[in-house]
Amino acid sequence: MDQFLSSTAFKGNTKKSVYFNGGIKMSYNHTVVEKKWQRNWKAAHEFKTTTDPNKKNYYALDMFPYPSGQGLHVGHPEGYTATDITARMKRAQGYNVLHPMGWDAFGLPAEQYALNTGHEPSEFTAENIANFKRQINSLGFSYDWDRELNTTDPSYYKWTQWIFEQMYKKGLAYEAEVAVNWSPDLGTVVANEEVIDGKTERGGFPVYRKPMRQWMLKITAYAQRLLDDLDLIDWPESIKEMQRNWIGRSEGAEIDFDVATDQTTAKKSFTVFTTRPDTLFGASYVVMAPEHELVDQITTADQKDAVAAYKDEISHKSDLERTDLSKDKTGVFTGAYAINPANNEKLPIWISDYVLVSYGTGAIMAVPAHDTRDYEFAQKFNLPIKPVLQGGDVTKEAFTGDGVHINSDFLDGLDKDDAIKKMIDWLAEKGVGEKKVNFKLRDWLFSRQRYWGEPIPVIHWEDGETTLVPEDELPLRLPKTHDIKPSGTGESPLANLTDWVNVVDENGRKGRRETNTMPQWAGSSWYYLRYVDPHNSEKLADFDKLKDWLPVDLYIGGAEHAVLHLLYARFWHKFLYDIGVVPTPEPFQKLYNQGMILGDNHEKMSKSKGNVVNPDEVVEQYGADTLRVYEMFMGPLDASISWSEDGLAGSRRFLDRVWRLFIDDDGKLRDRITTVDDGRLDRVYNQTVKKVTDDFEDLHFNTGISQLMVFVNEAYKVDALPVQYVEGFVKLLAPVAPHMMAEIWEKLGHQDSLTYAKWPTFDAKFLVADEVEVIVQVNGKLRVKLQVAKDLDQAVLQEQALADEHLKKFIGDKKVVKVIVIPNKIVNIVVK
RNA sequence: GCCGGUGUGGCGGAAUUGGCAGACGCGCUGGACUCAAAAUCCAGUUCCUUCACGGGAGUAUCGGUUCGACUCCGAUCACCGGCACCA
């Protein structure tokens, strides 16, 4: 679950490295101050989740990272800072806050490293986690580490396995033969992303499609609910739309066709799915997927060779190649015919890979006059094109729009919607078809031929029985080995570990453990539940605690997880809801996708481009607070923005400016900070409290920080800084720059922790002015600005505007046609 | 090809519901401080025009709706992301 796998050395910028503490003045020393507060927070268990029943609960969650050997990337802290600011603000606002972090630590890189070096993946993973944790802590995030979790920990994956077993018991986990990418040279199955141009990424060996027994999860059983419940959640509309498209609901009909028979052949039939049953009279041939089960049975003797050759050709193509070459339609006639149930016409049956065995019924009725793909195919193979709708010109292209039906017997004269209804009724009445809803969504291929994943807790017995590992024997532990080798058979490396694989039951019956493991998506599909009750040994989490915290109030991560992770997690959550384990139908109430941080050349950061920035270097040179301020100030959270060393330095300059505003050269509070309020900062202070509170709540951190800058600019212009405003400001900036603010808070004389100091409030009376500036336009162009009393009468305002000397020049001797007056805002004079 | 998103100064970006375009920051220019520089503080900074007051143009391009458009509508162009023959 990680988008940042590449890294390289920090591009040092000596020009800006002026922030060492070698001067005479006591300037702000981020290294000392940040270390001090990180130590204090750890010692005080500052961020331990509170469970005060008198407070409301808030759950702020980050998508947990895959702890790669490369360490943290500057992209990680963007989302983490956003949730951290929210968590810190909510603590100050009096919430119990659950803000946890953990590790999605199963995955391919560790396995490959182990294969290459002979190291144990768990040891290597533990080192990576330690490094990630060190880096994350160096940025001052307020995680409750007592709730840290790790998907590779047996006490965690015990419950991942438990969920699998519940699904199995409900018939939602099943085995099927599915094609995989098989590399005989490597002796392993490779993932799609490891295949480049039909060859393995490592070694460049050929890859073959090979059907293997695989575990599947029946996510399709939840398709309709996954679609409907998108309406319950507060997610970006674009993400919802992507999920809707992925689920891909389409309404249509299934229609049964008989295969034309003679005296020598038995009666056979098959079913097609179509969204346009109204065009049945325009069907001129039928196409089956090459893998369709009927193909071999119906192919005539003289077409056998051609069909076999075509199927062979297809089997050598990967999915990608099949689609890449899609511009040009290919196919073969089977020699057989189908009977159109509407008019008993004989239609030739073809096979072609443009029909997918995995969608619908794997067979279609082709209506080339009204379907673009069928049209291309018919053109290529000279098949008849018969229009059944008025409109369009079928000599040029397929007409896929609406129109009046023709050549369609009882449908003639009807439009599309009516014709579809009438045809479905007719099909149902004759018993040759019915209304049908189809989804693009396919079942989830849940097994991987890998060592480094959760073992699937299943035993295959010699008598053919398949059983689950009993629940009281979970977790089924991944056996330790220093010798991970390909099995050579396509099975995972676990197949080599015969001590583990072979089992015997109490009756002496022999069995073999499942050697497939779960995909990385498994552990990440429910981890947010475990944070709620991470040490529970009886249940995956206590139901009442889940009721207290769910759904997650704020979930932030990269947009690349828009579909898969978020759909899988929703699916598991709904299943757990159905069996009474979780209290809500949806897991994540509010979702937000952070954007990408690009390199300073406006390109995606990557090792090969040499534009990767390492957060360790930034923390060392500028401090964690600076990095946090910069990443939040550089633009909207969801935008992709280029890294700028100058911008980073500017953020540090702002923090130094804040420091100097309150602290003198001897490291003491400035004497300008007083209990006297001369009123000069009343307005800007109250505006700042309001804007920052609203903006942080809406995740508009860039504009919130800009308002804090406005306050600082104003504060520099006055002589007296009222202490309550200074304290309020420190609290407002604390979520973004917690270390420096904690230090100033201490210098202000506070023993108590800033973390739980009450969030400031504003007084609305300071936000309203007695006078307002009203703009006066002539024909929509700004001409004059007037200072007038607030809520001045419309007529008076109009009179004052028209009396203005400068304005008269623009009216001249033209006629005033109309005057639009919006109180406290605008007067627009329309002249002719 | 389809779906989604984005186009605003030299740069990153602001702009409630259609009502002062350019907040804030970077960069740049000038001033103060300094022997000098850096740092800091103050001021200015969309473009054209004007000594100045002022005026004109301007939110990718073209058109529309409106008293009034960065904002709404239509078309076009560019860039970014996702999907891949889903019947």
Give me the sheet containing A458-461, strands edge to edge: A466-468, A458-461, A510-513, A502-504
pLDDT for A318 equals 58
pLDDT at A651: 94
User: Which of the nucleotides lies closest to A603 (Cα–C1')?
Assistant: B80
Rounded CA separation A644/A635 (Å): 12
Tokens 């009450």 appear where? A758
The residue lying closest to nucleotide B40, measuring its CA against C1', is A657
User: What gap in Å lies between CA A588 and CA A233, rounded to an integer?
Assistant: 7
- Give the pLDDT confidence score for residue A449 in this predicted structure: 86
Looking at the DSSP bridge assignments, the partners of residue A149 are: A102
Q: Domain A249-439 class?
A: alpha beta
What is the pLDDT at residue A170? 95
**If residue A186 lies in a helix (H) or strand (E), which one and from where to where?**
none
Nearest nt to the A705 alpha carbon by C1'? B24
Largest separation between any pair of C-alpha atoms in chain A: 111
Question: Which residues of chain A between 373 and 392 are close to nucleic strand B, CB under 7 A?
Answer: 373, 376
Q: Give the pLDDT of residue A780.
A: 81
Per DSSP, the three-state class of A267 is: coil
Superfamily of domain A14-152+521-617: HUPs (3.40.50.620)
Half-sphere exposure at residue A445, Cβ-oriented, CA atoms within 13 angstroms = 13
Residue A721 three-state SS = strand
Instruction: Estimate in Å the CA A780 to C1' B54 gap, whole number.
Output: 19
A772 touches strand B (CB under 7 A): no
Q: What is the DSSP code (8-state) at residue A443? A: -
Taking the CA of residue A713 and the C1' sugar atom of nucleotide B33, their distance in angstroms comes to 20
- Asked if A184 and A190 count as a contact pair (C-beta separation under 8 A), the reply is no
Pick the CATH number of A622-766 from 1.10.730.10, 3.30.160.100, 3.40.50.300, 1.20.80.10: 1.10.730.10
**pLDDT at A585 (0 to 100):** 94
Proximity of residue A18 CB to strand B below 7 A:
yes
- The fourth-level CATH superfamily of domain A165-244+444-513 is HUPs (3.40.50.620)
Cα dihedral angle (A539, A544, A545, A549), rounded to 10 degrees? 130
The ipTM estimated for the assembled molecules is 0.92
A311 touches strand B (CB under 7 A): no
- Identical fold between A165-244+444-513 and A249-439: no
Q: Which stretch of DSSP H or E encloses residue A739? A: helix A738-747
> Cis link prior to A735 (omega < 30° from 0)?
no
Domains of chain A by residue range? 14-152+521-617, 165-244+444-513, 249-439, 622-766, 771-831
A773 touches strand B (CB under 7 A): yes
Residue A349 sits at φ, ψ, to 5 deg, of -105, 120
Report pLDDT for A603.
Answer: 76
Give me the CA A641–C1' B12 separation in Å, rounded: 8
Q: Find the nucleotide nearest A830 (Cα to C1′).
A: B67
pLDDT of A501 reads 92
- The C-alpha atoms of residue A785 and residue A771 are separated, in whole angstroms, by 12
* Distance B38 C1' – A20 CA (angstroms): 14
Answer whether any strand B atom is within 7 A of the Cβ of A289. Answer: yes
Which 641-700 positions of A have CB less than 7 A from strand B? 641-642, 644, 646-647, 649-651, 653-654, 656-657, 660, 700
Alpha helices by DSSP H, listed for A484-593, are 498-501, 521-524, 527-530, 543-549, 564-578
CB of A706 lies under 7 Å from some atom of strand B: yes
Closest protein residue to B27 (Cα–C1'): A646
A591 CA, B8 C1': Å apart: 28
Q: Please give the C-alpha separations between residue A6 and each of A62, A81, A423, in angstroms, as whole numbers.
A: 20, 21, 57
| Cβ contact A609 with chain B strand, < 7 A | no
Cα separation values, A731 from A540, A633, A659, A693, A709, Å: 37, 18, 14, 11, 14
Question: Which nucleotide's C1' atom has the smallest distance to the CA of A441?
Answer: B86
Type of residue at A63? M
For residue A53, say if its preceding peptide bond is cis, omega within 30 degrees of 0: no
Question: CA–C1' span, A563 to B4, in Å?
Answer: 13
Does the A771-831 domain belong in CATH 3.10.20.590? yes
Map tokens 């030739």 to a residue: A348
Closest by Cα among A758, A550, A543 to A57: A550
Q: Which two tokens stand for residue A831?
A: 């002249």
Q: Which of residues 420-459 of A touch strand B (CB under 7 A)?
A: 438, 440
Which residue positions in chain A have pLDDT lower than 70?
Answer: 1-26, 192-198, 263-265, 316-327
Distance A726 CA to B7 C1' (A): 41
Task: Give the number of other CB atoms < 10 A from CB of residue A58.
Answer: 21
Any strand B atom closer than 7 Å to A242 CB: yes
Amino acid letter, residue A437? V
Classify residue A560 as exposed, middle or buried by CB count within 10 Å of its CB (0-12, 13-18, 19+). Answer: middle
Kindly give, in sequence order, each residue whose CB lies less than 8 Å from that of residue A760, ignoring residues fewer than 6 positions away: A689, A727, A728, A731, A732
